[in-house]
Structure 1
Amino acid sequence: MIGISIHDGHRERLKNRFLKHGLDSFEEHEALELLLFYALPRRDTNALAHELLARFGSLRNVFDADPADLSRISGIGESAAALIKLQSELARKYWLKDREAQSALSSVRAAVDYAGLLFRGKTKEEFYIVCLDSRFRIRHTELLARGSSTEVPVYVRQIMEVVVRTGAETILLAHNHPGGSAQPSQKDIALTRQAALAMDTVSVPLLDHIIIGEKNAFSFSEKASVPKSAPGSPCEAEYSGSPRREPPPDKADE
């Protein structure tokens, strides 16, 4: 005789409810319970969902949690932890690609918004380089380094290697201070100045260096902390903290 789990009917009803109506009518624990079905086919995922929410405080915090911390919950193995983390990473990638396709990073606000997506849910310091064309459109984004919760080691040669490899026409640097202020450290300031001077040698402007903190953001360009090799240049004039302006037209458009 083939046994039927007492949870099978409940799972089927929850799945059909999602397929018919989406997640709008779901409580947080129900959404998490549904997700866990696919990693834990023989467990009571309702109880696990409640335990995860009690431990981390919210659905967002569950998705942002480190997989190692998730795995410490009894019943959440490596596969379930990976599935949970996959959701936030897929969502982040979706919104990044959507943002890249929308418009150019021609203002500090636009750059901060994009950098905020890069570091959403990150609990360790990470450092990115964003390669742009002459109209500030994103052509390539690359993670240069991942560090601890308080620092991330980055070297100018790493930045230069990406610039040469991708043929970037201008670049944006971004890193995060998870759980802290966006105010730059002395190391942040020194690296930014060194990077700007290095980019000057290959005629690739450093547009800005954005730091994303827990509740605020810092722009080196907005604070006039990025050395300018050519004051008054189109790049400097078009990128500002004022309301976004359209980037200069391509020569072919003139």
Structure 2
Amino acid sequence: MPAGNLPLGHRKRLREKFIRSGLKGFHDYEIVELLLTLGSPRKDCKPQAKEAIKRFKTLRGVLEAPPEELQQIGGIGSHSVFGIKLVQEVAREFLKQKVMDKPVYKSSQEIFDYLYHSMRDLKKEVFKVIYLNSQNQIIEIVDLFEGTVNSSVISPREVVEGAIKYNAASLIFVHNHPSGDPEPSQNDKEVTRDLVYAGAIMRIRVLDHIIIGNNRYFSFAGEG
């Protein structure tokens, strides 16, 4: 086989192996290699894949790495990053649809599983409101505020107006802590108290307030 065809033959074998048995038996670097080849179809991506695993430690670390950090690895450019970013976005959309298509809201873990992927890299706090109907089906997810969360900037009136607009029977609040520590601050507790009180006046239930940190979360409902 000509030397120029070696990467193509290796890539073909990886793809055939994946088609036969999925990712079973794959090394992490081989999975990264397959993803890199989506954006660089005629390039040997094995060295870059191994270096990515070495630098970011795990497959998950590579998948969660910002594009600019991936491109610090020699041989990985914007085209190579395409496959990794594509998988991230497809996974995010899949999880979103999984949450939105659920017959009913069941747990804070489900909400975390989806929103973690869209909120983990945010540099500022973002406060979201999830509106649900009387069967606990999710109607809409709205970004209410960006910045430091406190009772002076989170408007209960705006939340209630949204509930009326979407004909919501209950609410879930979610925001992130860029520090990675999901433990609630005093401001978080005060905001939650005020929103629960405002909802009760309008007979709108607050099911939970979830704070997203680094691969973990805090649930006010879970903590009682």
* TM-score computed with the length of structure 2 as normaliser: 0.79
Q: Aligned partners of 1:51 and 1:58: how far apart in 2?
A: 11
Alpha-carbon deviation of 1:158? 5.6
Alpha-carbon deviation of 1:179? 5.7
Pair 1:117 & 2:114 matched: yes
Does structure 1 conserve the Cα–Cα contact (< 8 Å) formed by 2:105 and 2:136? yes
Alpha-carbon deviation of 1:161? 5.5
Q: Which amino acid aligns with 1:155?
A: I
Alpha-carbon deviation of 1:33? 0.7
**Gap regions ≥5 residues in structure 1:** 225-254
Q: Aligned partners of 1:28 and 1:6: how far apart in 2?
A: 21
Alpha-carbon deviation of 1:62? 0.7
Q: Aligned partners of 1:4 and 1:214: how far apart in 2?
A: 43
Q: Aligned partners of 2:80 and 2:97: how far apart in 1?
A: 26
1:220 corresponds to which residue?
A: 220
Post-superposition Cα deviations, 1:168-216, rounded to whole Å, max 9, x if no partner, equal 2211011233563321112212322333344345443322211233365
**Alpha carbons of structure 1 residues 129 and 80: separation in structure 2 relative to 1, 3 Å:** farther
1:38 corresponds to which residue?
A: 38
**1:1-254, aligned counterparts within 5 Å?**
4-106=4-106, 110-120=107-117, 122-124=120-122, 125-144=125-144, 155-156=154-155, 159-160=159-160, 162-177=162-177, 180-200=180-200, 202-214=202-214, 216-224=216-224
**Gap regions ≥5 residues in structure 2:** none
Alpha-carbon deviation of 1:99? 4.2
Does structure 2 conserve the Cα–Cα contact (< 8 Å) formed by 1:181 and 1:215? no
Post-superposition Cα deviations, 1:19-43, rounded to whole Å, max 9, x if no partner, equal 2222112111111111111101343
Q: Which amino acid aligns with 1:117?
A: Y
1:245 corresponds to which residue?
A: none
RMSD after superposition = 3.0
Q: Aligned partners of 1:66 and 1:8: how far apart in 2?
A: 28
* TM-score computed with the length of structure 1 as normaliser: 0.71
SS at match of 1:38: helix
Residue identity over aligned pairs, in percent, reads: 33
1:243 corresponds to which residue?
A: none
Alpha-carbon deviation of 1:94? 1.7
**Alpha carbons of structure 1 residues 82 and 39: separation in structure 2 relative to 1, 3 Å:** closer
**Alpha carbons of structure 1 residues 130 and 6: separation in structure 2 relative to 1, 3 Å:** same
Q: Which amino acid aligns with 1:63?
A: L
Q: Which amino acid aligns with 1:113?
A: E
